[in-house]
């Protein structure tokens, strides 16, 4: 990892922590099979291809969103779509990135 990679990793962690402190909802966009293998207990699960159909429900939560998946690719797509539709959202990347900062309730 290069010098700039270190900064971007720390920035992402800081951004995730900031969102969680602001009562963000973790939105897992992986498949049902992936979800069943493990997930953040407090997260919401909506498979990526269903996000457009569920946009009104997501907006109704009226909270910031941290999108997660397995690698960060699908959550990036979800975050882009949600942002284009007026949702305050970040791409949290792999769900384990966010899980380390979440206190299970």
Percent of the chain at pLDDT > 70 equals: 90
Q: What's the pLDDT band for 9 if we cut at 50, 70, 90?
A: low
Q: Is the pLDDT of residue 1 over 80?
A: no
Please identify which residue in the block is written with the tokens 């699908």: 74
Considering the four listed CATH numbers 3.40.250.10, 1.10.15.40, 1.10.10.10, 3.40.1110.10, the one that applies to the domain covering 3-99 is 3.40.250.10
Distance CA 59, CA 91 (A): 17
Q: How are beta strands 89-94 and 65-69 bridged, if at all?
A: parallel
Q: What is the pLDDT of residue 12?
A: 86
Structure tokens belonging to residue 39: 């997930």
**pTM assigned to the model:** 0.90
Instruction: Strand 65-69: give its sheet, edge to edge.
Output: 44-45, 25-28, 65-69, 89-94
Task: State the average pLDDT for the chain.
Answer: 91
């Amino acid at each position: 990892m290069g010098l700039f990679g270190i900064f971007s990793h720390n920035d992402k962690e800081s951004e995730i922590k900031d969102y969680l402190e602001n009562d963000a909802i973790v939105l897992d966009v992986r498949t049902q099979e992936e979800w069943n293998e493990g997930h953040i207990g407090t997260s919401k699960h909506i498979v990526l291809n269903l996000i457009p159909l569920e946009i009104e429900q997501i907006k109704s939560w009226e909270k910031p969103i941290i999108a997660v998946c397995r690698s960060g690719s699908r959550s990036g797509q979800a975050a882009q779509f949600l942002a284009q539709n007026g949702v305050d959202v970040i791409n949290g990347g792999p769900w384990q990135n966010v899980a380390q900062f979440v206190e299970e309730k």
